[in-house]
Amino acid sequence: MLKIFKQERSLILAGCFIITLGIVLFSTQFGSLFVRIPDFKTGTVAERDFIVDRDIIYIDEKATELKRQAARSLVPPIFRINEEITARSLAQFDSFSEEFLKIMDHESSVEKIFLKSQLTFPGVIDKESTALLAEHTLLSGLFDQVRELLLATLSRGVVNLADRDNDLYGSGSIELWRWHEGRLEKEEYPLEEVLTLDNLNDFLAQETSDFPDQEGSLVRRLVQPFAKENSFLDAEQTRKHRQKAMDEVEEVAGSLVAGQVLVRRGDIVSEEIAQKIHAVGKYSTTLNLNSIIGSAIYLTLIFALAVFLLNKRIIKIDLRRSQLIFLGATGCFYLLLAALLSRLFQLPEWLPLSIMLPTAAISIVAAIIISTNLGIVFTLIISLLFLPLVKMDISSFLFSLLTGLAGAAVVLKTEKRIDLVWAGAFLALANSLILITLMFLKGYMPERLFFAVGSGILNGFFSGILSLGFIPIFEHALNAPTRFRLMELSDLNAPHLKKMLSQAPGTYSHSISVANLAESACNSIKANALLARVGAYYHDIGKMDQAEYFVENQRSYNKHDELKPSLSVAVIKSHVKIGIEKAKELNLPNEIIDIIAQHHGKGVIKYFYNLALEKSSTRKVSSDDYSYPGTRPKSREAAVVMLADSVEAASRLLKKPTMVKLEKFVGDLIMEKLNNNELSESELTLTDLENIKRSFIQILAGYFHSRLEYPKTKEELR
């Protein structure tokens, strides 16, 4: 049974978690799914105000595109050196130098040398250069210098730049790729340092600055004809690099805040405003994955906290299935109401949204229907669950929590339903003080004071009226033993108690005495005295239909004299089962039914058990057949009623009671129950038992006062 309850508890909590997560996500993520965004075109007049309904993070496409274009322009164009052109130019120079040396070997006339060189390599050198070469004493060495400079020039790269005004060169540089010793080298050059045919002469002049003037001039003249453009734009690599740079650019995020006015009616819609309105329409139906994950983790933590706080050690009671369903349904309704109000109303920033929620009413109902500790814990839980709906606004959380705690506090001493009206008044005062305190913390402004106090008063009175209206509904729906219901059930003029008085007067008198004992004992151990009193009134309700079979209702004739012990004990045991059935017919709270079911525990009916032993020839009589089939008390109140029932019934047999006899009598009865493990599940401590004992003795001393013998003093004995 316990395993089944734990499974049901887990299912209820899982269902509440799913519903709560759905409410939070609907409010924070899907709230604008069905909102139609009007068409605001650039340059037109707005026909109505446009106000952002929730916080939105959107991608500013225009700014993002500008950023991407800037990143693209910063990537320099890529040029590659064509090694074939380099090799071909060097080969042409080698052929020229070899041919020129051959001509020099066969001819001495400058004119013939020039003409023959033009025949083979037209336009490479002029007459002046030919004359200088003819006069040079070490021509092969000069050609080596020229080749070396030509190689350096071509290795540096003679770049073929396209139109300089093209946005291709927006970065102000180029990246030159060349192969060197089997390895690709990449080097970036500012545009002003790039070697082209236009600035080739300047480059060569700088490279030959250490040469004699005439020789340097001759070297430059020989290099220039062979220095060809060998570096060209690699358009594909440039495109890839620029695309990569654009892809790596982070999108520019824009933010819109709930309540932000984008355009007023009658204003001209600018391009920027139109873009923002378009973003609202586009991103209101998108999901914020970070927000979803964060909400799920947050709710998981809160539900884990709820499981811990709803433990019996903290709230002091075991929650029934109906109570768990009530709490889950109430919490989900509260969150749904909060989500709807947050969508429908836009309060001033300084006023918490929770001022519109009946948090205190929920706290009052939970405290009265179940327990004060539960009311406090439940207030904390729903206030924490409320936070994501108000964008983690601490002031809304604080007001929700504090007004809920105040609600649980103002009903601590309520005994009549009319007391809830006074509770509402006290709550109105508490709410006003809470709001004023929050105002001072957020920035006090005198003009807001009246509105804040008025809001607090309205919330307080409204919560009181709501709780007054809903408590009777829930206490009957949950069959809860509220103080009000217990007060009604404790009325001795109730029809079923008057019927007991007429049909079973002895049982009625016994029940009243047990109620007095139980109430006093519960007061001494801080248990629920009113629950114990009402439970005692009804604990023997099952004796009414067969009253003559119970000794307290017999005057002279005992019906058990005609029955076998086994039949007699069956009648005696049946009063527990019949009592449970009658209690259910009367729709008594489960806590009262538990007291009826547990007030005898598994105790042995000793009189008939001993009688059966005497009459049995075989002596094979099982004590189980003469024991109550009920369960041991599981609450302190049920245990106290059991002890009070035993003490009251046994006390009728006391002869010439004295205080010493009473103390021993009560102590023995309690120890007997303790030794028989009848109190093992009740959570009563030894200190509790001692307090119960003293309470019983005090009450019994009052009963027997007229014939109670007190120990004589030494003076009286003399």
CA gyration radius for the chain?
51
User: Given this model, what pLDDT does residue 284 score?
Assistant: 58
User: How many CA atoms, within 13 angstroms, populate the side-chain half-sphere of residue 561?
Assistant: 6
Q: 228 and 89 in contact (C-beta within 8 Å)?
A: yes
Alpha carbon distance 389, 19 (integer Å): 14
Q: 33 and 281 in contact (C-beta within 8 Å)?
A: no
Q: What structural domains does the chain harbor?
A: 2-28+288-480 (no CATH), 78-242 (no CATH), 494-715 (1.10.3210)
- The whole-chain average pLDDT of the chain stands at 82
Diameter of the chain measured on Cα atoms = 175
DSSP output for 250-281: PPPEEEE-TT-EEE-TT-B--HHHHHHHHHHH
User: Given this model, what pLDDT does residue 388 score?
Assistant: 87
The number of beta carbons lying within 10 Å of the beta carbon of residue 530 is: 20
Q: How do residues 97-107 score in pLDDT, each as one tens digit? A: 888 888 887 87
CA distances from 124 to 47, 97, 117, 119, 622 (A): 79, 11, 8, 10, 134
Nearest to 509 by CA among 532, 540, 548: 540
Q: 355 and 399 in contact (C-beta within 8 Å)?
A: yes
Alpha carbon distance 534, 229 (integer Å): 110
The number of beta carbons lying within 10 Å of the beta carbon of residue 612 is: 21
Q: By three-state DSSP, how is residue 211 classified? A: coil
What are the backbone angles phi and psi of residue 308, rounded to the nearest 5°? -70, -45
Alpha carbon distance 164, 317 (integer Å): 86
The contacts of residue 524 (CB under 8 Å, 6+ apart) are 691, 692, 694, 695
Q: 563 and 592 in contact (C-beta within 8 Å)?
A: no
> Which CB contacts under 8 angstroms, 24+ apart, belong to 102-107?
104/133, 104/134, 104/139
Alpha carbon distance 423, 367 (integer Å): 13
User: Given this model, what pLDDT does residue 643 score?
Assistant: 92
Report the first-to-last Cα separation within the chain, whole angstroms.
Answer: 67
Alpha carbon distance 588, 577 (integer Å): 15
pLDDT along the chain (718 residues), means of 10: 60 87 76 54 76 71 86 90 92 88 81 82 81 79 88 90 72 88 88 89 87 84 89 91 90 74 79 74 60 85 90 82 90 90 73 88 92 91 89 87 91 80 87 85 71 86 89 87 87 87 87 92 92 92 81 70 73 84 90 90 76 68 74 90 89 77 88 88 89 90 60 37
User: Given this model, what pLDDT does residue 29 score?
Assistant: 66
E strand or H helix at 186: strand 183-190
User: Given this model, what pLDDT does residue 207 score?
Assistant: 86
